[in-house]
Amino acid sequence: MVDDLGAAKALRRSGLHAWLKVDCGYHRAGVAPESAYALEVAKELGEERGVFFDGILSHSGHAYRTTNRDEAAEVAESERLVMVRFGQRLATVGIPVRGISVGSTPAMAAVRDLTGVTEARPGNYVFYDRTMVLIGACRPTDVGVTVLATVVSHQPGASHFIVDAGALALSKDPGPGHGDLPQAMGAVQRHPELTVATLSQEHGLIRAASPAELEGRFRVGERLEIVPNHSCLTVAHFDVYHVLRGGRVVERWPIARGR
Amino acid sequence: MVDDLGAAKALRRSGLHAWLKVDCGYHRAGVAPESAYALEVAKELGEERGVFFDGILSHSGHAYRTTNRDEAAEVAESERLVMVRFGQRLATVGIPVRGISVGSTPAMAAVRDLTGVTEARPGNYVFYDRTMVLIGACRPTDVGVTVLATVVSHQPGASHFIVDAGALALSKDPGPGHGDLPQAMGAVQRHPELTVATLSQEHGLIRAASPAELEGRFRVGERLEIVPNHSCLTVAHFDVYHVLRGGRVVERWPIARGR
């Protein structure tokens, strides 16, 4: 993945496959598709001097800033148009565009038209998470990953209790901060009356509206499932998935990681 | 570590060692030291029916909410007083208190008196981080861990560039949010003119005041060191430390992790 002329030149005679990264509106990385520079980098790759030019690639990260599927569908369509038009621009100057790769989970969850697109890469799509629910990309029941947490402290008369899932389990991802979306560090499955209020390193603080709501409930040793704000960052903290079917663990899958 | 009567009773005949967790003012977990409940749990442990009662333990997490050493020293002293007095309260009713364990990194960095304390557990103390610098717990040169990041995207005319250290490397810890402390997702070592503005999963966005500040600098492939907001969460993402002496890697230490 390349968006830099120097890097594109350095790929000559490497025998590697390369995608040209294009800024489709997120404005993080990628060449600006209308720019002269974009054409310059594309030409360098398209001449294929010892490199395979696989196509053009974008990431519509701005789809995370939407609050419903219609808005996300608009982002998806604008991403498609930017990419297909840029592909046409390259084709008219004789640069072959073999692939057009797009994607972000909110955009893919809402997309209506993929004409001209050859690949999509919605990473979070496999599990979804609390963020995806909040921005309308999926329903709560679509979320496929939770963290099993144990109550480790619950003082008499308190309106909160503590679980052993903190930032080292759930990550410190705050979830979406735009619109009027409710702020929390996760959601307790089947307990909408509870708020994952704060996470410190090893601890999660779960709050109720009043001590009365917790009286006799959520005793030390009890377990609950927490829906993470960001499933990717959460999963990266663990070594194994416990795969459930009908509430029972039926398989254990190792999580590939290593850095 | 116990702060629950049911858990204390369940420890009978376990042969385990136990510490009684005390709330020293952080109000997250731990028995309230003035409460009847605290005495009840302490008695259960102190009778040592097949359990070893090692002592009382606190965590002064509220020391993270200070902005200078004097404030942190006040937290440390109040933690010490709470714990020593609670220890005396237990002693007067015949409950032996073998150890008094306190600690948080900001408190330990500022503490003036440890009379009566037998142990301190300041976890972050070994490396410090950007948060510790901001709240005055240490100087910038005291920070002992950085993440080596590579510039992976820098578009011509942009006032930002992208590095390959995102939330999966640095964590999403936002650093301190209190007082007038500057908000950023980390600091670039030796480049106070740059801001680690945002982190997405795999990418860090480093911003300058203007494109002119970046012209001809920080090209794709260049490396820089990032001081994390929270060294504990950062380190937990990696498998190995690269130990530097005089700017050269002299050892590689495996990082113990596994979940």
Sequence ranges of the domains in chain B? 5-125, 140-254
| B255 CB within 8 Å of a chain A CB | no
| Mean pLDDT score, A95-99 | 96
Nearest chain A alpha carbon to B165: A259
**pLDDT (average), residues A60-66:** 96
Q: Do domains A5-124 and A140-254 have the same CATH topology?
A: no
* Residue B142 to residue B173: CA distance in whole angstroms: 20
Specify the pLDDT at position A76.
98
Residue B244: what pLDDT? 96
* More confident: A223 or A256: A223
Number of inter-chain CB pairs under 8 A, A vs B: 105
The model's confidence at residue A22, banded by pLDDT at 50, 70 and 90, is very high
Element (H, E) at A199: strand A195-199
Q: Which residue of B has its CA nearest to A147?
A: B259
User: What integer pLDDT is reported at residue B135 of this predicted model?
Assistant: 97
B37–A232 CB contact, under 8 Å: no
The closest alpha carbon to A82, from A53, A66, A62, belongs to: A62
Q: What is the mean pLDDT of residues A185-211?
A: 97
Q: What is the DSSP letter of B179?
A: T
Query: What pLDDT is attached to residue A248?
Result: 96
CATH numeric code, A5-124: 3.20.20.10
The per-residue pLDDT for range B166-212, each reduced to its tens digit, is 999 999 999 999 999 999 999 999 999 999 999 999 999 999 999 99
- Whether pLDDT at A257 is above 90: no
Chain B CB contacts of A23 under 8 Å are: 155
Q: Please report, for chain A, how many H helices and E strands are present, in that order.
A: 8, 12
Give the mean pLDDT of A71-78.
Answer: 98
Judge: A259–B236 Cβ closer than 8 Å, yes or no. no
Nearest to B28 among A168, A203, A230 (CB): A203
Give residue-wise pLDDT tens across range A163-177: 999 999 999 999 999
Angle CA(A215)–CA(A193)–CA(A237) in degrees, nearest 5? 100
List the single residue in A with minimal CA-CA distance to B233. A168
Does CATH number 3.20.20.10 belong to domain B5-125? yes
* Residue A258 confidence (pLDDT): 76
* Average confidence (pLDDT) over B135-143: 96
Distances in whole angstroms, Cα of residue B118 to Cα of each of A213, B112, B114: 39, 15, 8
Pick the CATH number of A140-254 from 1.10.3470.10, 2.40.37.20, 3.40.50.360, 2.60.40.10: 2.40.37.20
For residue range B24-70, what is the model confidence (pLDDT) as tens digits? Answer: 999 999 999 999 999 999 999 999 999 999 999 999 999 999 999 99
ipTM of model: 0.95
3-class SS at B6?
helix
Q: Write the pLDDT tens digit of every residue in A118-143.
A: 999 999 999 999 999 999 999 999 99
Best mutation target, A171, A183, A222, A232, to test chain B (most B CBs within 10 A): A171
pLDDT category of residue A100 using cuts at 50, 70 and 90 = very high
Q: Which residue in the set A3, A61, A221 is minimally distant from B155, CB to CB?
A: A3
Amino acid occupying residue B144: G
**Cα–Cα distances in Å, from B196 out to A168, A177, A245, B20, B137?**
22, 18, 42, 41, 21
Pairing of strands B195-199, B147-153: unpaired
Read off the pLDDT band of B148 (50, 70, 90): very high
pLDDT at B103: 93
